[in-house]
Amino acid sequence: MKRVITYGTFDMLHYGHINLLRRAKERGDYLIVGLSTDEFNWDSKQKKTYFSYEKRKQLLEAIRYVDLVIPEESWDQKPKDIELYQADEFVMGGDWRGKFDYLEEETGVKVTYLDRTPEISTTQIKQDLNDKSLVTDGTADL
């Protein structure tokens, strides 16, 4: 059985997230998602999520591509998780390209960066929702 592991915040879940998870799952038989906790997001990134960890976990667990959701509590836990869950491949979005190459040498896991869905991101959604010019009758024309 080939195990794939990925990490993320997955706040304001959208089809770009689903595409990434689907493509990660296609690379193996079992997909593990390290979900950033609320504390980790705030302490390491000064980032407050819209949905709590528990709600984001519930959303991820409902996605057919996801087999297991684990908490991501620090940047340093990845090598331990790879060993603990016997991951064969580590997958991240292309915007992280090169940042996790060290895991290949440190753990022997294959590191893969997948291109993001170009026209969608959580950041873009937040910006669009704040842009009053996009709102006409309560819906945004995107």
Quick check: is 17 in a domain? Answer: yes
Q: Is residue 139 part of a domain?
A: no
Number of domains in the chain: 1
Residues, the chain: 142
pTM value is 0.86
The confidence band for 130, taking pLDDT boundaries of 50, 70 and 90, is confident
CATH number of the domain to which 67 belongs: 3.40.50.620
141 falls within a domain: no
| pLDDT score of 133 | 59
For residues 118 and 12, what is the distance between their CA atoms, to the nearest angstrom? Answer: 17
Containing domain of residue 64, as a range?
3-134
**Is 57:65 a contact under the CB 8 Å cutoff?**
no
Residue at 33: amino acid letter: V
Asked if residue 93 is part of any domain, the answer here is: yes
In a domain, 140, yes or no: no
Over residues 9-24, the pLDDT tens digits come to 998 888 889 999 999 9
pLDDT tens digits for range 18-55 = 999 999 999 999 999 999 999 999 998 788 898 999 99
Beta carbons of 126 and 119 less than 8 angstroms apart: no
The neighbouring-strand residues paired with 113 are 92
Cβ–Cβ under 8 Å, residues 94 and 114: yes
- The residues carrying an active-site annotation are 45, 47
Distances 31 to 6, 45, 137 between C-alpha atoms, Å: 8, 25, 40
Residue 58, domain member (yes or no): yes
